[in-house]
Structure 1
Amino acid sequence: MMRPFQRDSSARYPVSIRILHWLRAILILGLIACGWYMTGRAEDDPTAAILYPNHKQFGVLAWLLALAQLALRWRYRAVLPHAPDALKPWEKRLSHITHRLIIALTILTPLLGYAMSSSLTDGDGVPFFFLSHVPEVLPKNDTAFAVFQALHAYSAYILLACVLLHIAGTVKHRLQDRGGPTDVLPRML
């Protein structure tokens, strides 16, 4: 019999973590798709007036949700499911690295986007829904803007690669071991 404080590889994640996981997944994929679409448009494109501010405010939301996810993972750390024992050592290591990168990049990428918007000389700041703007703490500097812009783009692409790897691993184990010890999808449903 398992005691309540023991970790179980087949246990489901707490409801709050599962909800945040799926919200973040939708939000991150939407932000990456929006970022990709809007950067391919001309500056005078009328959709830019809608896409850029929304991309910024949903980016802030993604950052806040990532912090909430970290707080919940810390709170439930004693009972979170661990990697299934049936995984090969390299699969456990890859899964661990991928999860850590996703967490780090969901914090870093929005911060780089904020830094980019905050440092742009002609920038209009970062809106956040009902607040007028997130306070800008960086000096206006177009050289810094260019650096933050490149870092934001690279981190978004790395985040996308990690998310795709995460999905591929989940699908692989779902198809190969449906209901078996490496089928981790039910833990997040």
Structure 2
Amino acid sequence: MTDLTAANAPTGPDKYPVALRVLHWLRAILILGLIAAGWTMTSLDDGTEAKFAQFYPLHKSFGVLVFLIVLVQLAIRSAARLPPEPVLPAHERVLSRVVHIAIYVLLLAVPLMGYAMSSTYPDSDGVTLFGLPLPELLPKSEQWFRVFQFLHKVFAYSLLGLVGLHVAGALKHRFVDADPQADVLRRMW
């Protein structure tokens, strides 16, 4: 049995473990794809066959995949040696922590609301993970479907806003701050 901490040791004293860096960038690509697919599929006419035959099932599958990736990331983070906190002004350090925690909460909440939305929708064919059907744990209900649909949308847009803030902060530290210790992007590169 391999030691999870040793297997995911950072390649340098100020870098995240390789596994976390790979999962971070994979998750980022998947989230951008999910947002693009969500906008596309909801704008398509209901008569468009691809809307329900390809877009919705793939959106659901990739949403479940992101959820699973986040669970793996959290498990690795809890066992791995992480780089020391970057040297940032106190207000930026607090903002960074709040944004990161909120992003992780939403990375779990958005797919859960999507699952709940699909599970409660009376005409839904359920949620699959690339063809493997997942159990529907909630009863069909038009009223609850609308609640979960609203929450899924609000949480997804909130996540998008926080990701934008996260990217802006990383770019600010890379290109605006004069202190290389504040360059947080190199920790995840």
Same fold (TM over 0.5): yes
Identity of aligned residues (%): 51
Q: How many residues align?
A: 178
Partners of 1:179 and 1:88 in 2: how far apart? 11
1:62-90 deviations in whole A, cap 9, x for unaligned?
Answer: 100010011011111xx2123312x1111
Instruction: Report deviation, 1:178.
Output: 6.8
Partners of 2:48 and 2:171 in 1: how far apart? 38
Per the alignment, residue 74 of structure 2 pairs with 70
- The higher relative CO (CA closer than 8 Å, separation ≥ 6) is in 1
Per the alignment, residue 5 of structure 1 pairs with none
Tell me, yes or no, if structure 1 residue 22 matches structure 2 residue 25. yes
Per the alignment, residue 140 of structure 1 pairs with 140
Tell me, yes or no, if structure 1 residue 12 matches structure 2 residue 15. yes
Higher helix share: 2
Tell me, yes or no, if structure 1 residue 45 matches structure 2 residue 43. no
Per the alignment, residue 94 of structure 2 pairs with 93
Partners of 1:163 and 1:83 in 2: how far apart? 20
- Shift in CA distance, 19/179, structure 1 to aligned 2, threshold 3 Å: farther
Partners of 2:84 and 2:160 in 1: how far apart? 24
Give 3-state SS (helix, strand or coil) of 2:66's partner: helix
Give 3-state SS (helix, strand or coil) of 2:182's partner: coil
Give 3-state SS (helix, strand or coil) of 1:181's partner: helix
Instruction: Report deviation, 1:130.
Output: 4.3
Instruction: Report deviation, 1:167.
Output: 0.3
Give 3-state SS (helix, strand or coil) of 1:118's partner: helix
Structure 1 runs (4+) greater than 2 angstroms displaced: none
Partners of 2:178 and 2:31 in 1: how far apart? 27
Instruction: Report deviation, 1:179.
Output: 7.1
Per the alignment, residue 111 of structure 1 pairs with 112
Per the alignment, residue 7 of structure 2 pairs with none
